[in-house]
Structure 1
């Protein structure tokens, strides 16, 4: 696009008697401009046709989903005629993304009313993402600019952006103070009577969910190792060992010959395999399962209960 004297893109539109450019309306679920252009331009004076209230060269976009501008795309509303009312852009909908510029012009949104009323941009979105500037002319950055000229560059247009998510704002500072659990539980002395107890309220533990059955019980893991292999019982192991005789060698006193006698040898008692009852960590970080359960050392309460004196 060639540049006009004021630095805006020149739509090469002159005043003529062929008609007045009206409004370009786009209603869609999504809109993508990839090195694309949306142009609405006119040089016609609408007063010649007694159309004083008609806006010329106006773009209205209503996209419920995502609108993206990439690869030096352009949205331009250009009203260049004498006393031409228009050159406005209205964008409504969901989200808009202006991708970073990788060329000489960037992704731009321009509204221009050179010698008449107009030159306004109104953007109302849930979120507008992308860095942009508000320059009067084309730059290598993303630009969103509105200008209304009276011939001496004295009247600038209106640029209004309403977005629930503004990337230019600083993120909200989250609170850094931690919660003291001791301040969340009231340690009052017990009072007699059902009414007094009901006034204190109650705390009910439903199910397990990592909580002990009783507030006085220590935390204890109930995980069980389920082994689907079939192991021989202790009686079967001893029977198999005793059923295999061990030959015994002896010598005859007269002839010096050997003879063997099958004498049963008592079998050694094998160690019984039991389920793991605990675990520990080795020096190299290896988890070692143990037959004996771990010794649990209960920790002291994190709050000191209030001492209540006895009433005589």
Structure 2
């Protein structure tokens, strides 16, 4: 539903002929009230969704149910009363509400009691550029009530929420939101964005502003850190430098290496390979009435002996040998990070 450029949707009455009617708008996606008509237009200058009355009768009720409500560029949704009667009730149920560039939601009255405005908004109420939510009362009437329940309320650029009164008591403004940004409670309206429920009759006639946030402890889950400074030099492993051990590293020939017979076994240092000999060759068997067949005999291989040292041949290549010459071990110039001294027997 879109009402633009001075268009109006109204359920109004003039004089003392009767109460204002009720107006309900159900729109699945969008309700937009925006713009103004040309100067001198009969219908009025602002786009209007209204249930207003005059005289001594009370205004009716306007309900808007939609996904997104936009009121901007001077557009209005109003349940005002220009006479001695009371203003009506304005109820909005939406996912988001945008009031921009003098967009207003009003339940004001000239001399009667201010009306009631209830906003049930799932995500965001955003007010910008002199936008207004008002339940003000003129004369001796009391200010109306404004109830807003939303996730976030943002009011910027002199956008106000007002429940003031002239000669009566100020109204009651109740806001429940996880976050409120750009506005705060003040007794009087200022060039900034304000939330007020005051009375021109004096501070003793002021109304009530209640702002409720969820009980969230910002320090919950914070871990207290120790103030003691840790010396990181003690956490670094120190390598073995020259002269830091009693003896240098050694190369020791300990005998046979290899793998143990089973995973849980060990290899004694004096274990040597045993010559088991060659397997016996079975004799050919002669059966009467059958052909004589023989199988070739596989020559036995020389037993393997584990290398016990190494030599350099005439070509300069290193060759592992089972019978190394007598050598004199030299200390390695490399130093190990984890050094130890091993004694041999």
| TM-score strictly above 0.5 | no
| TM-score for both structures, normalised by structure 1 | 0.41
More helix per residue: 1 or 2?
1
Higher relative contact order, structure no. (Cα contacts within 8 Å, ≥ 6 residues apart): 1
| TM-score for both structures, normalised by structure 2 | 0.38
